[in-house]
């Protein structure tokens, strides 16, 4: 009795079968480092590393400080560039490319059956493609750089079944916020989460990436969606055909098996200062905001910008509100330009910044001052996450963010959609 996640790990470890709790060494198909983790290079050399094990399986992303806003950040990125050049790492994604997870998707670097490890906790995103994706720290990534392998404790698996019919005006962000609010931020600590159920047929790859990304906020080590025709269609568009599909045995026993009916779901919001502090957005209608923020790796895709453009077309954002938009990647930005979304949003008063992470993690390009309130479609609302520890952050869907930018306060976005 094995889950698809276990079968992926077993193959990577060269084993016939594995069980939850077992410690195994796995070959890593794709490893990534972002520019928060210069320590990875230091650890590589401190452990005696000279040449990386396989430069073709290593990607370096300059996304969290894109572009550098301090001398220290500039020096950090300089060292990463020089390391890539010296090591023959061709997959250097410089400051023009965007967020690591969206780049991986854009370039078709993740596909079913892979083991993907990046120095970023939201690497769970790649479960949207049927891959085992997980985040690690600097030392673990340095070990992969040296050996091409890493140890894992095989996680227990939780299944979350999404059933019913998605109501109009409800988005993937609403669905996953509702789940996190009900199960709690520590529900899936070091566990794998499978997203299943009939609702999947209504969820695009972008929607699935949002949901898988946010499972990190319930503690998940990895996330998984069984590849289906939506997955295969996306892979065909990327001309990817060399992959293996793993399926879960019918008699596999889940550590937990939960079902959520989305049929009556209302727009959701996570209030300060915890991602699981979730309720209906109706409870916060009228709350003034200083900033609305759309983008980064959770909701910075073309579909998200399209929603905002639909709401704001021919209108102006509130005079006392800033609307910052961070496309998840250069590809997203270019497509949004071609479709007219960027012009629509700029004319409405939005400010576009460099594709990347920006102020999602409180480094630059949209930081909050003490006492300010922001509604954002990103993934975390801890104190200090986007600037001052005395700022307030609300998490909501792209529609809720755009509607709030228009009104200067939190509103139910349902009435702003065609």
Q: pLDDT tens for residues 174-187?
A: 999 999 999 999 99
Is the pTM higher than 0.85? The answer reads yes
pLDDT at 362 over 90: no
pLDDT at 112 over 90: yes
| Lowest mean per-residue pLDDT among 184-193, 326-335, 356-365 | 356-365
Q: Do the Cβ atoms of 325 and 312 come closer than 8 Å?
A: no
Domains observed in the chain? 4-260 (3.30.499.10), 269-412 (3.30.499.10)
Q: 163 to each of 250, 254, 328, how far by Cα in Å? A: 19, 18, 29
User: HEC profile for 63-98?
Assistant: CCCCCCCCHHHHHHHHHHHHHHHHHCCCCEECCCCE
Q: Work out the mean pLDDT of the chain and round it to a whole number.
A: 97
pLDDT at 418 over 80: no
Phi, psi of 360 (to 5 degrees): -55, -35
pLDDT for 17 equals 96
pLDDT for 417 equals 84
pLDDT at 189 over 80: yes
- List the one residue out of 254, 232, 230, 256 whose CA is nearest residue 243: 232
Report CA torsion sign: 7, 13, 19, 20.
Answer: negative
Please report where in the chains the tokens 């994706």 appear, as a residue.
133
pLDDT for 199 equals 98
What is the distance between the alpha carbons of residues 30 and 297, in angstroms, rounded to a whole number?
Answer: 18
Please report where in the chains the tokens 């972008």 appear, as a residue.
206
Q: How far is CA 282 from the centre of its chain?
A: 26
Q: Do the Cβ atoms of 240 and 209 come closer than 8 Å?
A: no
pLDDT for 227 equals 98
HSE-CB of 39 using CA atoms within 13 angstroms: 9
């Amino acid at each position: 009795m094995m889950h698809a996640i276990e079968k992926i790990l077993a193959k990577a470890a060269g084993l016939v079968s594995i069980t939850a709790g077992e410690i195994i060494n796995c070959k890593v198909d794709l490893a990534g480092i972002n520019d928060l983790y210069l320590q990875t290079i230091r650890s590589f050399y401190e452990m005696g590393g000279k040449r990386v094990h396989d430069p073709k399986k290593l990607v370096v992303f300059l996304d969290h400080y894109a572009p550098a806003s301090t001398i220290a950040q500039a020096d950090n990125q300089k060292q990463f560039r020089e390391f890539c050049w010296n090591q023959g790492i061709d997959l250097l994604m410089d400051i023009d490319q965007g967020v690591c997870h969206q780049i991986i998707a854009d370039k078709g670097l993740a596909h079913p059956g892979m083991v993907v490890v990046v120095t970023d906790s939201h690497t769970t995103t790649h479960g949207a493609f049927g891959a085992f994706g997980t985040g690690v720290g600097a030392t673990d990534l340095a070990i992969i750089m040296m050996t091409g392998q890493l140890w894992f404790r095989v996680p227990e698996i939780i299944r979350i079944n999404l059933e019913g019919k998605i109501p109009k005006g409800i988005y993937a962000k609403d669905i996953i916020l509702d789940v996190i609010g009900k199960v709690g931020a520590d529900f899936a600590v070091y566990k794998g989460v499978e997203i299943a159920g009939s609702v999947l047929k209504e969820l695009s790859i972008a929607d699935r990436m949002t949901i898988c990304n946010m499972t990190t906020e319930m503690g998940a080590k990895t996330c998984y969606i069984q590849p289906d025709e939506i997955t295969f269609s996306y892979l065909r568009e990327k001309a990817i055909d060399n992959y293996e599909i793993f399926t879960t045995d019918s008699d596999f026993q889940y550590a937990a098996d939960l079902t959520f009916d989305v049929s009556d779901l209302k727009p959701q919001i996570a209030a300060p200062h915890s991602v699981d502090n979730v309720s209906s957005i109706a409870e916060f209608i009228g709350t003034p905001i200083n900033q609305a923020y759309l983008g980064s790796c959770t909701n910075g895709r073309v579909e998200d910008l399209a929603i905002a453009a639909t709401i704001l077309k021919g209108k102006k954002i509130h005079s006392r509100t800033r609307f910052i938009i961070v496309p998840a990647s250069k590809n997203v930005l270019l497509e949004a330009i071609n479709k007219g979304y960027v012009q629509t949003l700029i004319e409405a008063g939005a400010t576009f910044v460099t594709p990347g992470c920006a102020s999602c993690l409180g480094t630059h390009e949209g930081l909050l001052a003490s006492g300010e309130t922001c509604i954002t479609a990103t993934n975390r609302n801890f104190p200090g996450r986007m600037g001052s520890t005395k700022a307030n952050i609300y998490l909501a869907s792209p529609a809720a963010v755009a509607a709030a930018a228009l009104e200067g306060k939190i509103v139910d976005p349902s009435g702003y959609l065609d």
